[in-house]
Chains A and B, each alone.
Chain A
Amino acid sequence: MPSGTVHCCEVRNLEKAFDQTVVLSNVNLAMPSGSFTVLVGASGCGKSTLLRTVAGLESPTSGSIWMGDRDVTALPPKDRDIAMVFQSYALYPHLSVRENLAFGLKLRRTPETEIAGRVAEASAILGLDALLDRLPKQLSGGQRQRVAMGRAIVRRPRMFLFDEPLSNLDAALRAEVRVDIRKLHDRMGGTTLYVTHDQVEAMTLADTLCLLRAGQIEQMGPPLELFDRPVSRYVAEFLGSPKINCLDGQLVYTNAGPHITIGSSTLSVPERYRALSPQSVVVGLRPHHLTPASAEAPQFGTLLVTFYEALGFETYVHGTLQGAGDKALVIRVDSNHRVARGDAIAIGVRPEHTVLFDPKSGRALDT
């Protein structure tokens, strides 16, 4: 062991290629016992492949997978003490719900009485009691999803793997089950690795959020850290809805000290960027940080409203930044704030909410 702590699962220098196409490279991921790690990323970035490699359903091209202090890279899935919930649920169609739940325990020659006990327990937790004697085809989508989770928890594995388990559910159910999954995780005390491309799921479920980009880990950490301190424009744009505003600007120094200009608008420079030399920058401003100008959020420009979306609890106002070559911008205002197309709103931002990126590399400038 290189480090002192033994993690529940650790992925080391993982590389995975299908034929010539490299799908994952240089992936290092440590999951402490009891942690909830969420993998997010655009479609095709390698999330499922990483999960499946941890499960043992794919073998890595190079690198290793560790469970505790065991190298499991060469072990088949059945010897890894994991359970997996598939996007499609993958329930055994020829077996009743009860038999689906018991399947893994039967294979492991668990005594009948214990099987019955564990099935009853899982069934009670997930509310499957009335469904135990049905076949999968006699269940609704949400019920199937619960059976798939039940099949994972009866096994009491060391680790749970989820591959987009909620993507086949409707929005309301998804929000409900999302909470259930986190509760279940806390209750079972296992370690969870969870794949999703839904950023609400990612933000709300994760202890550790791991954002994959083209097969590499772009950033990993607590969700709010990724949200507030993205290492790159990519991360900043991936998380948050509506998307972060990215505007081309200049970091300049005048007699009055450093500031950022975007067209004719001017922003003050947050403390952490004060050491930078004058240069072109990309200014990242989250819509919910842009507010009508006030004392804490001094005005830096004027938004000409072109369009707005009133959601009831808040309103997203789309417009252009005056004097900045008609740069498109989205801000969030309270729903009691009346806006109309053609309005000009003086907008401000608290200086510390500004993030800066290098225009060429897209990396964040605060290091």
Chain B
Amino acid sequence: MANGGRLNARQNVKALVVHALLIGAVIYALYPVLWVLTVAFSRDGLGTDGFVLPWPRHWTFANFAIATGASTGKSALFFRQLVNSLTVSASTALLSIAIAAPAAYALARMQFVGKRTGLSGLMLTQMFPTVASAVPLYFILSQLHLLDRRAGLVVAYSATALPFAIFQLKAAFEAIPVELEEAAMVDGATRFEAFVRVVLPVARPALAVTALFAFMSAWNEFVLAATLMSREEAFTLPVVLQRFVGEHSAAWGPFAAGSIVVSIPVMAIFYIAQKQLLSGLTAGSVKG
């Protein structure tokens, strides 16, 4: 700060109010998370005796041992399910980007017959809930012999993630000045080279966001996974989690512990990708 970091009284009040509001918002957002943490680390589940601020009375890691199968001798299975979730989500992200990027580019830059109809069609698919497609998808994948296999889930998830990914990337490509591609083509690039060497790198933040979104939707998805996967070895983590709070018993402790385990990879990815997500790469490309 220009004045050496000292604030006058008025700025002080303003800073105080802003900080109070922000702290309030953070508490509001984190309060349920604190509950999950408390339940996960408590020996006696929900018993916090009506404290406003939840905090474990008797610390324990037992819930984590149950959630990850460590105490039931099923840790190999859990690990396998974790790998399922990771591969399915990562593949969904990659496949969605691989299909959505060229499609979005064509929709953003080219004129062709059926463009408007195609766009409306994509929009239309967004209006149906996932559940509506569960049964048809079940039959399709069963015909393709992809039931109970990760590839089946990837296909189903990518199909679901595509329309949004295409809209997202189309908007991103439209925001890139056409002149960049024209410059590349005059410089010696084919249209495809211009796409690969200029458009895609410039759109990297948008690609990252879109990929992350596809990853998350696959990572958190439950209905299709539960419908299309019947073998335990093929489960993804949301299905595993759900079993702790099944019809007969509600093992909230392991459920909460499991939720935390499931959240860790996503948090890690957000942490790693935050630079990508926030960078404004297009700044300074055109205009003085």
Contact = CB atoms under 8 A, between A and B. Distances in A.
Nearest to A148: B183
B183 A84 contact: yes
A94 B188 contact: no
B202 A94 contact: yes
A98 to B, nearest CB: 15
B274 interface: no
Interface in A62-102: 76-78, 82-84, 86, 88-94
A135 interface: yes
Nearest to B176: A93
Given A155-B187, A168-B288, A93 B283 contact: yes
B201 A94 contact: yes
Interface string A104-125: 1001100000000000000000
A234 interface: no
Interface residues of B, number: 26
Contacts of B134: none
Contact of A90 (B180, B188, B201, B288): B180
A83 B284 contact: no
A195 to B, nearest CB: 14
Contacts of A169: 288
Interface in B152-208: 177, 179-180, 182-190, 193, 197-198, 201-202, 204
A135 B184 contact: no
Nearest to B286: A88
A47 interface: no
Given A90-B177, A94-B204, A103 B286 contact: no
Nearest to B179: A90
B113 to A, nearest CB: 16
A93 B186 contact: no
Interface stretch (A2-10, A136-144, A347-355): A136-144
Contacts of A139: 284
A142 B288 CA distance: 8
Interface string A236-279: 00000000000000000000000000000000000000000000
A19 to B, nearest CB: 11
Contacts of B130: none
A78 B285 contact: no
Contacts of B12: none
Given A90-B285, A93-B285, A84 B202 contact: no
Given A94-B201, A94-B204, A136-B285, A78 B183 contact: no
A138 B284 contact: yes
A135 B284 contact: yes
Contact of B287 (A76, A88, A103, A142): A88
- From A78, A108, A140, A168, name the one whose CB has the most chain B CB atoms within 10 angstroms: A78
Nearest to B204: A94
Given A90-B286, A135-B284, A78 B182 contact: no
A118 to B, nearest CB: 13
A145 interface: yes
Given A77-B182, A84-B183, A90-B285, 18 more contacts: A55-B182, A55-B186, A89-B286, A89-B288, A91-B183, A92-B184, A92-B198, A93-B284, A103-B197, A107-B193, A107-B197, A108-B188, A135-B284, A136-B285, A137-B284, A145-B288, A155-B187, A168-B288
